[in-house]
Structure 1
Amino acid sequence: MIISSRIHPFITRVTWTSALIASALLLGSCGSKPPKSLVTPLPPVAKHPLPNKPDDNRPVRGVWLTTVSRLDWPPVSSVNVSDPATRASQQKKALTDKLDNLQRLGVNTVFFQVKPDGTALWPSKILPWSDMLTGKVGEDPGYDPLQFMLDEAHKRGMKVHAWFNPYRVTTNIKPGTVAELNRTQSLHPSSVYVAHRDWIRVSSDRYVLDPGLPEARDWITSIVAEVVARYPVDGVQFDDYFYTETPGSTLNDSQTFRTYGQGFASKADWRRHNTEQLITQVSRTIKQLNPNVQFGVSPAGVWRNRSHDPSGSDTRGAAAYDESYADTRLWVQKGLLDYIAPQVYWPFARDAARYDVLAKWWANVVKPTHTRLYIGVALYKVGEPSRNEPDWTVQGGVPELKKQLDLNDALPEIQGTILFRENNLNQPQTQQAVNYLRNRWGS
Structure 2
Amino acid sequence: MRKTAMLAAAALLLASCASEPPHSLVTPFPAPTTGAKAQPGSSAKLPVPPASRRDQPPVRGVWLATVSRLDWPPASSVNASSPMLRISQQQQALRDKLDKLQRLGINTLFFQVKPDGTALWQSKILPWSDMLTGRIGQDPGYDPLQFVLDEAHKRGMKVHAWFNPYRVSVNTHAATVAALNRTLSLQPASIFVLHRDWVRIAGDRFVLDPGIPEARDWITSIVAEVVERYPIDGVQFDDYFYSESPGSALNDSQTYRTYGKGFASKADWRRHNTQQLIEQVSRTIHELKPDVEFGVSPAGVWRNRSHDAAGSETRGAAAYDESYADTRRWVQQGLLDYIAPQLYWPFSRSAARYDVLARWWANVVAASGTRLYIGIALYKVGEPSKLEPDWTVQGGVPELKKQLDLNESLPQIQGTILFRENYLNQPQTREAVNYLRSRWGN
TM-score normalized by the length of structure 2 = 0.88
**CA apart distance, 1:42:** 11
What is the distance in 1 between the residues matched to 2:55 and 2:316?
Answer: 34
**CA apart distance, 1:82:** 3.5
Match of 1:32 in 2: none
Q: 2:281 aligned with 1:282, yes or no?
A: yes
What is the distance in 1 between the residues matched to 2:384 and 2:413?
Answer: 29
Question: Which runs of structure 2 are paired with 1:25-424 in the superposition (5 Å)?
Answer: 57-424=56-423
What is the distance in 1 between the residues matched to 2:49 and 2:411?
Answer: 32
What is the distance in 2 between the residues matched to 1:233 and 1:46?
Answer: 17
Secondary structure at the aligned position of 2:429 is classed as: helix
**CA apart distance, 1:93:** 0.1
* Partner AA of 2:106 in structure 1: V
What is the distance in 1 between the residues matched to 2:45 and 2:169?
Answer: 32
Verify the 8 A CA contact 1:316 1:352 in the aligned structure 2: yes
What is the distance in 2 between the residues matched to 1:189 and 1:256?
Answer: 26
**CA apart distance, 1:81:** 1.1
Secondary structure at the aligned position of 2:135 is classed as: coil
* Partner AA of 2:436 in structure 1: L
What is the distance in 1 between the residues matched to 2:237 and 2:46?
Answer: 24
What is the distance in 2 between the residues matched to 1:241 and 1:317?
Answer: 17
Secondary structure at the aligned position of 1:351 is classed as: coil
What is the distance in 2 between the residues matched to 1:216 and 1:86?
Answer: 38
Give runs of ≥4 in structure 1 deviating > 4 Å: 39-47
Verify the 8 A CA contact 2:47 2:283 in the aligned structure 1: no
Map Cα deviations across residues 20-59 of structure 1 (whole Å, 9 max, x no partner).
Answer: xxxxxxxxxxxxxxxxxxx989999999x9xx99x96000
Verify the 8 A CA contact 1:46 1:288 in the aligned structure 2: no
What is the distance in 2 between the residues matched to 1:240 and 1:206?
Answer: 15
* Percent identity (aligned): 78
What is the distance in 2 between the residues matched to 1:41 and 1:366?
Answer: 22
Verify the 8 A CA contact 2:48 2:334 in the aligned structure 1: no
Map Cα deviations across residues 401-425 of structure 1 (whole Å, 9 max, x no partner).
Answer: 0000000000000000000000000
> How many residues are matched?
401
What is the distance in 1 between the residues matched to 2:55 and 2:101?
Answer: 19
What is the distance in 1 between the residues matched to 2:240 and 2:431?
Answer: 32
Secondary structure at the aligned position of 2:60 is classed as: strand
What is the distance in 2 between the residues matched to 1:42 and 1:319?
Answer: 27
**CA apart distance, 1:62:** 0.1
Map Cα deviations across residues 295-325 of structure 1 (whole Å, 9 max, x no partner).
Answer: 0000000000000001000000110000000
Task: Indicate the RMSD between aligned Cα atoms, in angstroms.
Answer: 1.9
What is the distance in 1 between the residues matched to 2:285 and 2:398?
Answer: 40
What is the distance in 1 between the residues matched to 2:249 and 2:47?
Answer: 40
* Partner AA of 1:358 in structure 2: L
Change (3 A) 1:198 1:329: same
Map Cα deviations across residues 231-255 of structure 1 (whole Å, 9 max, x no partner).
Answer: 0000000000000111110000001
Change (3 A) 1:374 1:390: same
Secondary structure at the aligned position of 1:353 is classed as: coil
Unaligned runs of 5+ in 2: 1-41
What is the distance in 2 between the residues matched to 1:41 and 1:348?
Answer: 41
**CA apart distance, 1:85:** 1.0
**CA apart distance, 1:426:** 0.1
Verify the 8 A CA contact 1:363 1:411 in the aligned structure 2: yes
Secondary structure at the aligned position of 1:271 is classed as: helix
**CA apart distance, 1:337:** 0.3
